[in-house]
Structure formats: C-alpha cells, structure tokens
Structure 1
Amino acid sequence: MKTKGFIRLASCYMLLTLAVLFVSWIGSIYDWQGVQNLLSPEGLRWALRSLADNYLHSPVLLPALILFFGAGLWADSGLGQSLWRVCSGKHSLFRKERRGLWMALVVGGIYAAACGVLAWGPWGIVRNVIGTLEDSPLAKGIWCVISLGMSLMAIVYACVADYYRSDKDIVRGMSCLFVRRPTFFVTLFFVTLFFSALDYTHLLACVGVPDGVFRAAYLVCSLLPLIESPERK
C-alpha cells in the first residue's frame, strides 16, 4: 500500500505535466496571449537544456540532501525517539539513555551558543562585508550548520548510550533516511518537472495567477513527498 501511494503521487505529477504539454499546444493553436508551446521545437530544446538544472535547483533538494545526514542520525541513534518519550511522558528511559540525552542537550546548547557568538559576536567571521547576516556565509550555509548540530547531538547520545561503537555505525546512521525515504527524491523530480513546464509555458500567467502563488505552491508540493510513509525492508 505504501509503494502504491508513492506511485500514485509521482504518477499524478507526471500526468499533470502531460496535461500542461497538451494545454500549451492548444494555447498555441488558439494564440493565447503569452503561452509557449512545449511541443514545439523551441520547447523541446528548452527541455533538453534545462531538465537536469531545474531539478538540481529545486528549492528543497539541497536542503534535504544536507539535512538528511543529521536527521538520519537522530532517527537511527534513537535520540529523536528518546526526546519524544520524555516530552510525552509515556515511557521512561534507561540510565544510559538519560545520561546520553542530557549530554546531547548540553552539546546542542554549547553548539547553539557558539553559533550565536559567531553570528552576533564582535569578530564577524560568518557575517557579510557590511556586518549583517543577510546573504552572509552563515546564511548560505545554514543547512550545513543545522545538520552538523543535529549530527553532533545524535553521535554524543548514541555513544554515551552505548548504541554506536564505531565509525561504521555513524555512517549507517547518516544514510538512514536515504534508505527509508528514497522515493522522496524520485517524486521531487516529477514535481520539478511539472512546475518547470508550468513556468515555461506561462499558462498560470495567462489566467492571472500571481508569481508568488506559483512559488508558494511549488514549495509546498516539493515538501509533500516528505510526509509519505517511510520505506521498510
């Protein structure tokens, strides 16, 4: 059932892309204002040139790739589950788990404080040339900063709780979400294909849909595959 759910979602965007192709062809026949035909030679050349680039520049692809490392460690090490158990109050933790959780929180707090000092301290190492965070190295690398912090907390927890005993365990944890949710990247490809086709054909502009609505819908639809049930071996 879970696999079928994935097929339906990915196929849905593929069918929508085919619909865009057809409607753009109809629009070119009836000379709709501003509509570009994807089935024309120009449309084919655009698709061949931009298909890979559009996918690589998806608004969530790079953040997902980076955050999957840290979030995968949280899931594989048990840190996320332990936090949930403590917050829900439904289950108690073993002594090593409690010790590991407190150590992880301490490390996370120190890491957050260090990032704060770098961001707003007197040195300005990670700020831009005028001393602000807008378009700064820290802003551009924020996903790496978050993922590294999550990774450090998870590794400390797993080592103290005696769940990780070698670097092999850490590497396995970093790949955890790539194993559990490989279909996310496949579905994201079809989402990108659909919205790229919409953008090229100008169909939404023809019917008066604002660009801000288009970008918001693109972002939301790119995140939808994350809520699918994870793959299980």
Structure 2
Amino acid sequence: MTALGILYPGHFAEDDYPRIEQLLGGDIRVDLVHTDPGEDGTPQQLTAGVDELRLAGTETVVWASVTGSSGYGWDGAHDQVRSLARLAGTPASSTSLAFVNALREIEAGRVSVGVTCPPEEATLFTDFLRAGGVTVTGLRSAGPVSAAEAAGWGEEQVLALARAADEPDAQAVVLPDTALHTAAFVPLLEKAVGKPVLTASQVTVWEALRLTDRRVNAPELGALFTRQPIVQV
C-alpha cells in the first residue's frame, strides 16, 4: 500500500481526492487533512496538518494550494516545501510545483491558463510557471469567483472555462483552481480541446505519486496518467 498525504485548505473540492483514489486502484491510499481555510501557507498553518499525516504513516506530503505556494515565488515555494519535508520527515511538494513538474512530464512547454481567482493571484501563478521555464500563451479569467462559488461549478462550467482558456499554439490547458471539482471531467475536457488538460487535484495526486517513484496508468485521469494521444470531439 502506497500512502499519499495531502494538506488541503478549507472545505471546497476535497471530494475529488477520494474519487481519484478509487480511480488509481486498491493499493494506493490518499489521506487528506484539512488546514485552516486561509491559503497563506505559513509554517503555523501547515504544522498541525503535517503531524496528523505523519501519524497516518503517509510516504509523501503535498500542500494543495496554488495561492499559498506560487505566492512565495519560485525560490520561496522551494523553501516552503523543504521546510514541509523537514516537518513531515518525508518528501514534500506543492500544487504549484506539481504543475511545473507535470508539464515537464508531458513535454508541454507552452500552455494557456484558465482561472477563477482575482487578477493578482493569476499573475503570481503565471509568473511562477514562467520561472519554471513554461511559456504562457494566454490567460482567461472567469472571475473573480469565490472558492465556495467555484466549488459549486459543475461539468458545463468547467468545460466552458477550459474551452475559453484554450489557445491554438498552447500544448496544454492549465486549470489551477484547487476549489474546482475536476476529477470526474478530465477526459471530457481533453477531448473538448484536443490536448492535455491539467487540473489542481489531478496534478497534486500525480506529484505525490511521483515523489514515491510510482507511475500509475489511469486513463480516467487524462493524458498525464496515460500519455495516450487525445482525439478531439
């Protein structure tokens, strides 16, 4: 059994994680611990959750916040996960770093981004991607939308955001909002735009697996988990 630890701020799209656990098969466990809803990512916010995951015996810890990781900049986000790894006694990462690593995995150097967050948060994230060597070809905002509102979005709204964000020269579409439910929609999103779509819950779990040196074939979670060609519909 591989046990993955996720630190998730608040209560929004956390039910994506048990869904992903089911799709990955019976020998992978995804343990999710909630932190305070503020997404600042300070050591004080993360410490209590890390203690709970350590007691659960997780092998990795990923901080599932984009705002609370990319907001520290490229170097600051790496300092944050180094501190998190020391606290947890396991390899650690964050959702922001997961996006960069996942884009490298699928060899997508040019991306378009769809967000629901305020403009300043979107800019911090796109600057973070650029610091990681990613070219951002376009940014489309459907907001600002509160996390609670985003958590209430269904398939059609998420699909509309992906389509609006897509750019012809982008090799992938990135939807970084950790409050969006996306785990059930990834193949649909990819067929709609004809290219890989990376979402927050998807890359967070993929990153946790990567830290354990595991690769899992799960077509229901999109190209990141299969590397199969996408047929646009």
Q: Scaled by the length of structure 1, what TM-score is found?
A: 0.26
Larger radius of gyration: 1
The structure whose residues are more often strand, as a share, is 2
The structure whose residues are more often helix, as a share, is 1
